[in-house]
Amino acid sequence: MSDIPSSEYAVAPIAQLAAYADTAIMEDEALRAARARADELGATTISPATGALLSVLTRVAGAQHVAEIGTGVGVSGLWLLAGMPTTGVLTTIDPEPEHHRAARQAFADASIAPSRTRLITGAPSDVLTRLADESYDVVFVDGPLLGYPAFVAEGIRILRPGGVLVVANASANGTIADREVTDPRTLAVREAAQLIADDDRLLPAVVPVDTGLLVAAKTR
């Protein structure tokens, strides 16, 4: 008999499945180049498995209009656009002009028509208040964790009935389940998750990819 607790037997298969989920996704040259630019700029990017799931969710939602909070270097934008019809438009918000320059290059590398992207440079908390109610089919939140409560509240407002809200890093880098962890970033992610849980219009689920996705569908 092994002395290893049964819970530890599950760790290896889960880790192996996560690794397989990423390696099973083949990214094209535009995505690989975007990831290289992210390394140069020190910007974070979503995993291939997360990107693939974003494409699936936008495809299922039939998303013509997508709002993204946190452009980064365009990796997540490329995945979102891949799930949208050729007439779809991605509105993506980031406070860093350098990120938007890198994202424009990523979109150009992927032959995305300029008319399909609207890049807004500014603080997401300010920009979001200017977006119209119930005007987006998918809203993807991937900005600074401290802003998550405001981003989620505005994301719910601008999401159309039947649309999908997706929140990246839903585990707050793995700390959200530990109630003894009370740093500001973890508390902000918990508050955002509670906003979703308390909204009767939303049907939520946590997806264990990367650092976790919180996905919620809005009632039609």
Tally Cβ neighbours within 10 Å of residue 202.
18
Q: What angle do CA 75, 196, 199 make, to 5 degrees?
A: 140
Q: What whole-number distance in Å separates Cα of residue 38 and Cα of residue 60?
A: 28
Query: What number of CA atoms fall less than 13 Å from residue 192's CA on the CB side?
Result: 35
Reference 142, options 202, 99, 94; nearest CA is 94
Q: Rounded to two decimals, what is the model's pTM?
A: 0.91
Please give the backbone phi and psi of residue 9, each rounded to the nearest 5 degrees, phi first.
-60, -30
The DSSP bridge pattern shows strands 159-167 and 213-218 to be antiparallel
- Could you list the pLDDT tens digit for every one of the 220 residues in the chain? 344 444 454 555 767 877 787 778 889 999 999 999 999 999 999 999 999 999 999 999 999 999 999 999 999 999 999 999 999 999 999 999 999 999 999 999 999 999 999 999 999 999 999 999 999 999 999 999 999 999 999 999 999 999 999 999 999 999 999 999 999 999 999 999 999 999 999 999 999 999 999 999 999 9
**Radius of gyration for the alpha carbons in the chain, expressed in angstroms and rounded:** 17
DSSP states along 111-125? T--GGGEEEEES-HH
Per the structure block, which two tokens stand in for 95? Answer: 């406070």
